[in-house]
C-alpha cells in the first residue's frame, strides 16, 4: 500500500454567466469528441477488423480541429477533449477484459455533463482554482479543507440534472493510513425492513429516503407530464424541479451510507457481506423501488474502497449460501422459510432465531471460513417458482406487505 492514497474532494461552486457558458461549450465539445471517436473505433472494427487505440483517436482529433465543420473545437481547452479520448480508451479496456459492456454514445439530455482538467489546464494558488480559457477563479464553497499543502492533480467539473455545479479535486491525502488491527469481525445482512443487520444483534434502521419524498416527487412528475414535449422553458423548469427532488434524496442517502460504512470499517478488521446481484434483483417489479432506495450496491462500493484505504478486509460470501435457513447454533438447514417468518425455532436444537440476526451470524462464520481456507462458499444453486434464486429475503408474498410499498 502506498504511503499516500489519492482522494477526491468534491465541492459546489457558483459560476458567473461567462464561466457557465464556457463550461457548457466544453461539455458539448467533450461529448462530441467522445461520440465521434467511439463511432470511428466501431466503424474500423466492423468494416476492417481494425483496432483503433488512443494515439490514433488523438491524431483524429487534431485533424478534426482543422476542418471547417469542427473548427469550434478550438474554442475550448484541448485538455478535456484529450481526457475524453483517454476515458474512451479505458472503457474499451474494461470491455475487452469483460469487466463492462461495450461503450455507449453520450446523449445530450441523459448523459452526465462533465469535463476533466489536468494540471496543464488549471491553476491552483492560494486556495483559488482557475480553469483554462477563464480569467477569474471559480467561486467555490469550501465545505471542508483540502489536506494541508495538497496540490490537485486533476479537476473535474460537472453539472447535475438539478442544475448544480460541482468541482472534484483529486489530491494525495496523507491522513489515509492503515488502522491498527483489532481482530474484530462482523457479519452484515442487507435487508429492506432494516437496512443492515449485524451479527452482534444490532439492527440499523432503513431510513427510506425515497418514501419520505414520494408525495413531492409524484406531484412534480405529474406537473412535468402535463408540459408539452420539446425544449420549452416551462418543461425545462418542471424537469429541474423533479431533478432537485431526486438530488435531495440521493444526497441524504449517500450521507447516511458514508456514516454507516465509515463506522463499520473503523470498528472492525473483517467485514463479511453477501455477494448480491442487485441488477437481477431490480428486475422484480414489486421490489425494485425498495431495493433501489436501499442502495445495496453503493453500500458495498463504499465499504470496499474504505476498507482498502484503512487496511481492512471485506469478504463477500456467495449469494447462494442459505444464510437465513441455516441454524447458526447447530447447522441444521430448514427446507423452506417464507418471507413473513421473521423468527423461527430450530427443530433439532430448539434454538429460537431472529431471521436477520441468524443470517448475519451465518455469513460471518462462512466468511471467516473463506478467509481461513481460501475456498469459496458455493452451495448448490436452487430455484424458486422456476426463477433463479437471488436474495432469499426478496422472495415470497409481497403483495399488501407495507415493507415493500
Q: What is the CATH number of domain 185-206+248-373?
A: 3.30.420
The residue extents of the domains of the chain are: 5-173, 185-206+248-373
- Residue 399 has a pLDDT of 35
Q: Measuring CA to CA, how many Å separate 352 from each of 90, 237, 324?
A: 51, 55, 13
For the chain, the maximum distance between any two Cα atoms, rounded to a whole number of angstroms, is 81
- Residue 323 has a pLDDT of 86
Give catalytic residue positions. 189, 274, 356
As a whole number of angstroms, the distance between CA 243 and CA 250 comes to: 10
Provide the whole-model pTM. 0.82
Under 8 Å CB-to-CB from 379, ≥6 apart: which residues?
A: 318, 320, 321, 322
Find the radius of gyration of the CA atoms of the chain: 25
Count the Cβ atoms, other than its own, within 10 Å of residue 340.
10
How many residues are given for the chain?
Answer: 405
Return the ∠ at Cα 164 (arms to 160 and 170), rounded to 5°. Answer: 75
Cell numbers for 40, please give them: 470511428
Helix spans in 268-385 (H): 278-281, 288-294, 296-310, 355-373
Residue 236, phi then psi, degrees to nearest 5: -65, -40
Please check whether residue 273 is in contact with residue 302, taking contact to mean a CB–CB distance below 8 angstroms: no
Cell numbers for 261, please give them: 460504512
Residues with pLDDT less than 70, the chain: 1-3, 231, 372-405
- Residue 385 has a pLDDT of 33
- Residue 391 has a pLDDT of 53
- Residue 303 has a pLDDT of 95
Please check whether residue 44 is in contact with residue 53, taking contact to mean a CB–CB distance below 8 angstroms: no
Please check whether residue 210 is in contact with residue 289, taking contact to mean a CB–CB distance below 8 angstroms: yes
Amino acid at each position: 500500500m502506498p504511503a499516500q492514497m489519492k482522494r477526491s474532494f468534491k465541492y459546489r461552486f457558483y459560476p458567473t454567466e461567462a464561466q457557465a457558458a464556457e463550461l457548457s461549450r466544453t461539455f458539448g465539445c467533450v461529448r462530441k469528441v467522445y461520440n465521434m471517436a467511439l463511432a470511428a473505433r466501431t466503424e474500423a472494427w466492423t468494416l476492417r477488423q481494425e483496432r483503433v487505440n488512443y494515439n490514433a483517436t488523438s491524431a483524429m482529433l487534431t485533424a478534426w480541429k482543422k476542418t471547417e465543420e469542427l473548427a469550434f473545437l478550438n474554442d475550448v481547452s484541448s485538455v478535456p477533449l484529450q481526457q475524453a479520448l483517454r476515458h474512451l480508451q479505458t472503457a474499451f479496456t474494461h470491455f475487452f477484459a469483460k469487466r463492462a459492456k461495450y461503450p455507449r454514445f453520450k446523449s445530450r439530455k441523459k448523459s452526465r455533463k462533465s469535463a476533466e482538467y489536468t494540471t496543464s489546464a488549471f491553476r491552483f494558488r492560494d486556495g483559488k482554482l482557475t480553469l483554462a480559457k477563464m480569467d477569474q477563479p471559480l467561486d467555490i464553497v469550501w465545505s471542508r479543507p483540502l489536506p494541508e499543502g495538497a496540490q490537485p492533480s486533476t479537476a473535474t467539473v460537472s453539472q447535475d440534472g438539478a442544475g448544480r455545479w460541482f468541482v472534484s479535486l483529486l489530491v494525495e491525502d496523507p491522513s489515509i493510513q492503515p488502522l491498527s488491527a483489532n481482530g474484530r469481525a462482523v457479519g452484515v445482512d442487507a435487508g429492506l425492513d432494516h437496512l443492515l443487520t449485524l451479527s452482534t444483534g444490532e439492527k440499523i434502521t432503513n431510513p427510506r429516503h425515497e418514501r419520505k419524498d414520494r408525495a413531492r416527487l409524484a406531484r412534480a412528475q405529474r406537473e412535468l407530464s402535463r408540459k408539452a414535449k420539446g425544449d420549452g422553458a416551462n418543461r425545462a423548469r418542471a424537469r429541474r424541479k423533479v431533478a432537485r427532488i431526486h438530488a435531495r434524496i440521493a444526497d441524504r442517502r449517500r450521507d447516511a451510507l458514508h456514516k454507516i460504512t465509515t463506522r463499520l470499517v473503523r470498528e472492525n478488521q473483517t467485514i463479511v457481506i453477501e455477494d448480491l446481484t442487485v441488477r437481477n434483483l431490480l428486475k422484480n417489479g414489486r421490489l425494485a423501488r425498495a431495493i433501489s432506495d436501499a442502495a445495496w450496491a453503493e453500500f458495498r462500493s463504499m465499504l470496499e474502497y474504505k476498507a482498502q484505504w484503512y487496511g481492512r478486509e471485506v469478504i463477500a460470501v456467495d449469494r447462494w449460501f442459505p444464510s437465513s435457513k441455516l441454524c447458526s447454533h447447530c447447522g441444521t438447514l430448514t427446507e423452506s422459510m417464507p418471507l413473513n417468518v421473521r423468527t423461527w425455532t430450530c427443530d433439532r436444537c430448539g434454538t429460537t432465531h431472529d431471521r436477520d440476526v441468524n443470517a448475519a451470524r451465518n455469513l460471518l462464520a462462512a466468511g471467516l471460513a473463506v478467509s481461513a481456507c481460501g475456498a469459496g462458499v458455493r452451495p448448490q444453486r436452487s430455484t424458486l417458482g422456476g426463477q433463479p434464486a437471488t436474495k432469499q429475503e426478496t422472495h415470497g408474498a409481497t403483495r399488501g406487505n407495507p415493507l415493500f410499498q
